[in-house]
Structure 1
Amino acid sequence: MSKIGNQLARLEGEEVARGVRMLLARPLLTAVHDPDGFDLIRRRREPIVKWFDYYTGWRVLVEPRAGYARLFKTTQRPDRTRPALDRRRYVLLCVVCAELLTTPTTTADALAEKTRQTIALDGLPSFDPNRRSDRNAYTDVLRFLEEQGVIEHNEPQLRADPTLITRLLAAPISPSTVDSIEDLTRESRYENAHRSLWQRHSTMRRLIDDPVVYREDLTASQLAFLTSPSGRKIVQTGVGLAGCTLEERAEGYLVVDADAIATDTRFPDDDSNEKVAALLLLDRLAQGPASTEDLVEETRELLTKFRNWAKAYQSDGGAGRLAADGLALLEAFGLARTENGTVRRLPAAARYAVEELHD
């Protein structure tokens, strides 16, 4: 191959890797929110689609004219530690989306009133736009839809893209046809497929989607795949093609993206009170396991000592809420685990010890 050919091949490889990681971080990527990113995915869509299909079994849809790319990430083990919204907001999200499909152009106030009426008629938990907690939840739903590129909110008008609303759901089966989460996430393609296909896809899904994967959390089949020469080669090749590296430790595995492109949220950083609290709680857990009550007390002492910090939590019950939010982050990043009311630090947490941050 000529020098120019080598350079072009290297450029394509770099762009495919970048496109894969962008979709991992933002499964619904629109030209409006990221024109350069969408253009890259549009140009390299064939190898990107093939990467996801071969290594993860996930489907990628790229619509150049509509201006969006959608990675349909499905799993048979939904992760409850990293929800996009809480249960209350998910209910509002579903109702709001249903209303926007009917009336794509409206105002926030009119949409809130229609949502209130629909919720009342369907017998769902009441929604009152005049109630502060409900108004905050409603605002969070609109913000989520705006971040996904589904709506444009220019006061007072709100305009939705019905096509993108229908692309929000990644489940392989329509929710109206099933009775449980297990049925909703069932992928029929694996029912009669060779076992190696599910081994490859399920293992790669875990590695690229979870911050850290511990051996004890893998199935016997997945662990056998990772420790076999052929399986290890497949994983290392796939991770490398995505522009990442695979770190292996005695306790488990970690896929590292040095450019942090595939990361939808970072830890540690100081962009939220919850992350600061999580880092401080992690330092406390370095001393040994602690009860959840101990962590609440630790958080209460921090709030007392720094009264101008975390003002949203400087109220009755604030210490409990902040400790719970910080602990939820630690569990989501695979840094801590709670069992029977006792919290223990996991091996990957050694990377984030507070004393190391000051080296």
Structure 2
Amino acid sequence: MSRTGNQLARLESEEVARGVRLLLARPLLTAVHDHDGFDLIRRRREPIVKWFDYYCGWRVLVEPRAGYARLFKTTQRPDRTRPLFDRRRYMLLCLVCAELVTTPTTTAEALTTRVRQAAAADGLPSFDLDRRSDRSALADVLGFLEEQGAVENDDPHVRADPMLITRLLAAPAPPSTVDSIEDLTREARYESAHRSLWQRHSVMRRLVDDPVVYRDELTAGQLAFLTSPSGRKIVQTGIGLAGCTLEERAEGYLVVDADAIATDTRFPDDDSNAKVAALLLLDRLAQGPARFEDLVEEARELLTKFRTWAKAYQSDGGAGRLAADGLELLEAFGLARTENGTVRRLPAAARYAVEELHD
């Protein structure tokens, strides 16, 4: 191959790797929010689609004219440690989307009226903008839809893209046709497929979607695939093609993106009080297992020492809320685990240990 050919091949592989990571971080990527990213995915659509299909069994839809790319990340193992919203906001999200699909152009007042009527008609908890909590919940829902590019909120007018709203749902089965989470996430393709296909896809899904994967969290079949010569080669090749590296430890596996392109949430990071508290709670857990009450006391001491910090938590019950939010982050990042009321630090937390300096 000529020098020019080598350069073009290297450029393509770099762009495909970047496109894969962009979609991992933002499964619904629009040209409005990331023009350059969408243009790259549009140009390298074929190899990017093939990567997700072969390694993860995930479908990618690229619509050049509509200006969006959608990665449908499905799983038979829903992660309850990283919810987008609470139950109330999920309910409002469904009601708001249902109304905007049928009436894409409306006003904020008309939308809230129809949402209130729909909640009453379906026997759901009442929705009332006179309640501060409901106003906050609605603002969060509309903010999320704006962030996804599905809604333009130009007060008092609200304009929606019905197609993008319908693309938000990634479940294999329509929710209205099933009665349980298991039925909602069941993927029929694996019921008649060879076992190795499911092992490859389920392992790669865990590796690219979870901050850390511990061996004791894998099934015997998944672990056998990962430790076999052929399975290990497939995984290492796939991770490499995505521009990442696979770290293997005695306790588990970690996919590292040195450029942090595929990272949707960073830790450690000082962009929130909860993340700062979570890092400090790790220091406490490094001393040994703790009860949640011990972490609350640790948070209370922190708030007492820095009275101008974390003002949202400087109130009655604030220490408990700060400890709970910090612990939720640690569990979501695979750094701590609560079992029978006892919180233990997990092996991956050693990456954030404070090292003493010696002369």
| TM-score bin (small chain) | over 0.9
- Note the C-alpha offset of 1:356: 7.6
Aligned equivalents of 1:108 and 1:344: distance in 2? 46
Over aligned residue pairs, what C-alpha RMSD do you find? Answer: 1.1
* Aligned equivalent of 1:92: 92
Most deviating of 12-21 and 118-127: 118-127
* Aligned equivalent of 2:236: 236
What secondary structure is seen at the aligned counterpart in 1 of 2:258?
Answer: coil
- Note the C-alpha offset of 1:131: 0.5
* Aligned equivalent of 1:61: 61
Q: Unpaired segments of 5 or more residues in structure 1?
A: none
For 1:11-160, list aligned pairs within 5 A: 11-160=11-160
Q: Unpaired segments of 5 or more residues in structure 2?
A: none
* Aligned equivalent of 1:286: 286
- Residue 92 of structure 1 aligns to which amino acid in structure 2? L
Is residue 2:185 matched to residue 1:185? yes
- Note the C-alpha offset of 1:107: 2.3
* Aligned equivalent of 1:306: 306
Aligned equivalents of 1:229 and 1:103: distance in 2? 55
Aligned equivalents of 1:293 and 1:214: distance in 2? 27
Contact 1:336 / 1:346 at 8 angstroms: preserved in 2?
A: yes
Q: Per-residue displacement from partner, 1:176-195 (whole Å, max 9, x unpaired)?
A: 11000000000000001001
- Note the C-alpha offset of 1:129: 1.0
Classify 1:46/1:356 alpha carbon distance in 2 versus 1 (closer, same or farther; 3 Å). farther
Aligned equivalents of 1:355 and 1:110: distance in 2? 58
- Note the C-alpha offset of 1:71: 0.3
* Aligned equivalent of 2:4: 4
What secondary structure is seen at the aligned counterpart in 2 of 1:71?
Answer: strand
What secondary structure is seen at the aligned counterpart in 2 of 1:263?
Answer: coil
- Note the C-alpha offset of 1:109: 2.8
- Note the C-alpha offset of 1:158: 1.4
What secondary structure is seen at the aligned counterpart in 2 of 1:235?
Answer: helix
What secondary structure is seen at the aligned counterpart in 1 of 2:326?
Answer: helix
Aligned equivalents of 2:55 and 2:86: distance in 1? 31
Aligned equivalents of 1:271 and 1:138: distance in 2? 24
- Residue 261 of structure 1 aligns to which amino acid in structure 2? I
Normalising to structure 1: TM-score of the pair?
Answer: 0.98
What secondary structure is seen at the aligned counterpart in 2 of 1:92?
Answer: helix
Aligned equivalents of 2:344 and 2:356: distance in 1? 19
* Aligned equivalent of 1:257: 257
- Note the C-alpha offset of 1:354: 4.4
Most deviating of 127-136 and 261-270: 127-136
Aligned equivalents of 1:326 and 1:301: distance in 2? 15
Aligned equivalents of 1:174 and 1:80: distance in 2? 20
- Residue 113 of structure 1 aligns to which amino acid in structure 2? T
What secondary structure is seen at the aligned counterpart in 2 of 1:137?
Answer: helix
Normalising to structure 2: TM-score of the pair?
Answer: 0.98
* Aligned equivalent of 2:204: 204
* Structure 1 outlier segments of 4+, above 6 Å: none
Q: Per-residue displacement from partner, 1:274-320 (whole Å, max 9, x unpaired)?
A: 10111111111111110011111111111121111111111111111
Q: Per-residue displacement from partner, 1:137-158 (whole Å, max 9, x unpaired)?
A: 1111111111111111122221
Classify 1:263/1:60 alpha carbon distance in 2 versus 1 (closer, same or farther; 3 Å). same
Q: Per-residue displacement from partner, 1:98-147 (whole Å, max 9, x unpaired)?
A: 01112111222322222112111211112111101111111111111111
What secondary structure is seen at the aligned counterpart in 2 of 1:146?
Answer: helix
Contact 1:279 / 1:354 at 8 angstroms: preserved in 2?
A: no
Aligned equivalents of 2:126 and 2:281: distance in 1? 36
Question: Identity rate of aligned residues, in percent?
Answer: 86
- Residue 228 of structure 1 aligns to which amino acid in structure 2? S
- Note the C-alpha offset of 1:75: 0.3
Q: Per-residue displacement from partner, 1:76-100 (whole Å, max 9, x unpaired)?
A: 0000011111111101100010011
- Note the C-alpha offset of 1:353: 2.3
Aligned equivalents of 2:305 and 2:210: distance in 1? 35
Aligned equivalents of 2:132 and 2:345: distance in 1? 37
* Aligned equivalent of 1:297: 297
- Residue 102 of structure 2 aligns to which amino acid in structure 1? T
Most deviating of 287-296 and 150-159: 150-159
* Aligned equivalent of 2:221: 221
